[in-house]
Structure 1
């Protein structure tokens, strides 16, 4: 049959209905489904045949985009770095008049899933427990993130030593918060915001900074 009779359709959203018929999946389709499996089931379940079954396409489609499963796994790690590490660095580098505002930019990563994929981050960390090469990438990512937070504090007048210590307190606290899967109403978190910022920075945040951060937090909470 002709291409006109069977138009090529593209599907980049793994939440859509399974693909059937003469439909071409994209590289992002394979990557999206692989990421979903990595987060939900772990790296051992990221298998070409199983992913193809989820997409309802043959494995030949996979090899159009990836040389091997190893190539796909490398792409997943690159995707994780772009989604999580690069965004944290970018948020820390945003202009800010005060350290309170700067920390607010950092916090946005953990309020907005478009800026930081928490499930993906911990899936990669779990993966690293069994793969030394992935562990090295995790360690490098943590160094880059900590360096960005440290430099953020330094730009606001903190000494290198104090910036380093405060960066670690802030970063490790935030990852630990999610690792423990803390569940509390957003209002409760907002009620502690002034105290959190004072603890992290040693300075009182302005009412304007607090109001802006609380509004952003509640807006993101309302989307989830």
Structure 2
């Protein structure tokens, strides 16, 4: 049973979110094998017994990690693909924003989940479902702008897997360089020229992430 912090007796030093955030940080930095109750308690300087106010066991914590990833990373892509846009190139810009903005999409967490999935078939199934949801949302975006069913699916796959592969390649490309290439990416992914106002707005968004003006 999960008990909220405001009704716990005594001096409660950490919340359920603290446990989840610490577990997420450890998953990203050291892998799933390091996400252990005693290790988390030690890193926060609390007794491991406080863990059980919020989670039944380690498995419940691991499920919470997966749920958090689904609601943030997968949610960001699905939401972006469904966001209002006047053109398909504007829609793809929305998707670009979700991928490059660390406040929406945590690249390191995504890779940590993928690494975990290589070792756990049940997590692999969750990952496969997530990838399918992301691609379906992107395919739906293309379909809204008049692409046929198969073309929508293929363009969605190309856009999605290119972005995942781009992150995995860790090209160390500056935001300025990425911003310069926006028109070419839009043409490649959609077969259509992006509007000047869309490109400029996307350029400004991209450069702002690196603190440029």
TM-score range for the pair, normalised by the shorter chain length: over 0.9
SS in 2 for 1:40: helix
Partners of 2:150 and 2:121 in 1: CA distance:
30
Once the two structures are TM-superposed, the CA of residue 23 in structure 1 deviates from its matched residue by: 4.6
Q: 1:131 and 2:120 equivalent? A: yes
* Residues 1-224 of structure 1 aligned to structure 2 (within 5 Å): 22-222=11-211
Rounded to whole Å, the distance in 2 between the matches of 1:181 and 1:42 is 19
CA deviations on 1:7-28 (whole Å, 9 max, x unpaired) are: x99xxxxxxxxxxxx4521000
Q: Which runs of 5+ in 1 are unaligned?
A: 1-7, 10-21
Q: Tell me by how many angstroms 1:103 deviates.
A: 0.2
Cα deviation for residue 55 of structure 1 reads 0.6
Supply the RMSD in Å over aligned alpha carbons: 1.6
**Count of matched residue pairs:** 205
Q: CA deviation at 1:116?
A: 0.5
Runs of at least 4 residues of structure 1 off by over 6 A?
none
Bigger shift: 187-196 or 33-42? Answer: 187-196
Q: In the aligned structure 1, how far is the partner of 2:109 from the partner of 2:211?
A: 22
Please give the alpha-carbon distance, in whole angstroms, between the structure 1 residues aligned to 2:138 and 2:109.
Answer: 21
By relative contact order (CA 8 Å, sep 6+), the higher-ranking structure is: 2
CA 1:23–1:64 in 2, change beyond 3 Å: closer, same or farther?
closer
Give the TM-score, by structure 1 length: 0.89
In 2: Cα distance, 1:165 partner to 1:130 partner:
29
Contact 2:183 2:193 in 1 (8 A): yes
Shift of residue 213, structure 1, vs aligned partner = 0.3
Relative to the length of structure 2, the TM-score reads: 0.93
C-alpha displacement at 1:86, in angstroms? 1.1
Give the distance between the partners of 1:208 and 1:123, measured in 2 at CA.
36
